[in-house]
Each structure stands twice: as structure tokens, then as C-alpha cells.
Amino acid sequence: MWRLFKIEWMKIKSYVAFKFLFGGFLVLFILAFWTTAQQFMKQFSGKSIEEVVLKNLVGSPFVFPKVWQSAAWMGGLFFIIIGMLFIILIANEFQYKTHRQNIIDGWDRMDFIKAKLSVLLFFLLTSTALVFVSGLLIGLIYTPSGELGNIFEGSIYILYFMLMALVYLLVAFFTAIIIKRTGLSIVVYFGLVFVIDNLLWASLTLKGSQIGYFLPLESVDSLIPNPFTPKMLMKREVPDWSLIAAAVVYSILFLYTLRKHFKKIDL
């Protein structure tokens, strides 16, 4: 896998879109998380009645332990950039037929899949590390020193972020392999993430059903609720473990289908 990743790295390290989008994710996330934290803490430091009420409703999103949830949620907001980048990296191979050349030159078909999974892993680990470090730093900055207990309490949200990133990247992988055209793959991916997933979820949830939470993307989205939404507005009743189980099952299904599909198609 490491050998395959080194070859993938040769392909992407000087690719402009890679630098731009990966760098964009890093910068946007850090800036957004940090400035939101700063603005929020400044505004809610006052003692007015409204502020106290609001504070009781949403808690303290930038203080341990809730800061982990906020970091994971904000990471999720920007992660679509990485999903798009991953699609570009895969669909480009099809567009320029370099996937064929890789195989002609001596990769097994599964080597191609494994190589892309190594890139997926790279995105997964770097983005999770970024979210973790950001959560930790913001938490340390804004948690009053007297209230610093076990700072890693609630850091399970970092693992939830990782699971979310995995599912989003697998959906991206799947979309790119099936559609093979860079532009169209991105359009379909955005459609799935922003339109289809939300519409299905809304129509199911408004009927009072909990099934909507088990949609592939929704299962991981719901694991990390919006930290600014008051608890009383949450409609989810299904427990975290069931969503985790759903996400794991989806991941295995995606990988299995991908593998089977790629083994038999004409490239």
C-alpha cells in the first residue's frame, strides 16, 4: 500500500488542483473555526439576560468538552472540498485514460483501487489530525483554566468525524468510478450531498419516521449534530451506535461493489 501511495503522490504532488483544494480546505477550516470561536466568545462574554438564555440553550461550543463536537461539525462543513478533490483525482485518470496506462504498465486492476484507497486514507488521516489539533487548541484557549477537567472527554466526535469523512470519500470514489467524467461526477456528487440526501431525509423525517437518519450520508451527518442547535430542536431518537453500524455497513457495501464492478468492466 505504501508503494502504491508513493506512486499516487508522484501523480498529485505537483497538480495545481490538488494544492489549491487541499490547501483551501486547510486554510478555510482553520480560519472559519478560529474566527467563529473568537466572535462567539466575545459576544457571549456579556451578562445580559438574552445571552445567558442563549448560552443555556446551546451550551459552550468552544469550551471542553463540546469543542470536540464543534470541531468535528465544522470540519464536516468544509470536507466537501476534499470529496470534490478526490473525485477530480479519480475521474481525471479516466478522462486522460491514464488508468488504462497504469494497468498496461503492470498494475493489477485491484492495485488501481488500492492506490486510490491509499489516497483516501491520506485525506482521512490528515483531515482528522487537523480537526483534532484545532479542537484541542481552541479548547485550551477558551476553556477557563479552573474548569479544565479531562480534556479528552467527548473527543469521540473526532472518531465520528473520521467515519463521516470515510463515507463521504467512498461516495465520491463510487461516483467517479461509475461516471468517469470529471465535471459530471462533481455535479452528481454535489447533487447527492446537497439535494437528494436532504430531500429524502426531510420527506422521511417530516412524516415522523426515523428511517431518514439511516440514509448513507445522513447516518454520518447525524452523528455530529450542529453544535449551535438547541437540544430541544433535535428530532433524532435513534442511538449513536445504530448510526455507526449503518455507516460501517454502507462502507463495506461501497467497497465490495466498487471492487466487483472494477474487476469486470472494460476500462
Partner 1 sequence: MTNFSMAVLTVQNITKKFPRVKALDNVSFEVPQGSVFGILGPNGSGKTTLLGIIMDVLKASEGQYLWNGEAGNAQQRRKVGTLLETPNFYHYLSAEKNLEIAAAIKGYPKDDIERVLKIVNLYERKDSSFSTFSLGMKQRLAIASTLLGNPSTLVFDEPTNGLDPAGIAEIRRLIKNLSEQGKTIIMASHILDEVEKVCSHVAILQKGVLKTSGTVSEVLANNEEDEQIIEISAANLDQLRELVTTFPGVNKISGNNGVLQIYCKNEITPESINRQCYSQNIILSHLSVRRKNLETRFLEITDENKPVL
**Binding footprint of partner 1 on the chain (CB under 8 A):** 6-7, 10-11, 14-16, 96-98, 100-109, 111, 264-267
Is the separation of the CB atoms in 73 and 61 below 8 Å?
Answer: no
Which residues fall within 8 angstroms of residue 121, CB to CB, at 6 or more apart?
1, 5
For partner 1, give the closer residue by CB, 80 or 103: 103
Cell (9 digits) for 212 = 431518514
**Least gap, CB of 82 to partner 1 (angstroms):** 20
For partner 1, give the closer residue by CB, 86 or 132: 86
**Least gap, CB of 83 to partner 1 (angstroms):** 21
**Least gap, CB of 102 to partner 1 (angstroms):** 6
**Least gap, CB of 2 to partner 1 (angstroms):** 12
For partner 1, give the closer residue by CB, 207 or 264: 264
**Least gap, CB of 28 to partner 1 (angstroms):** 24
For partner 1, give the closer residue by CB, 102 or 219: 102
For partner 1, give the closer residue by CB, 6 or 235: 6
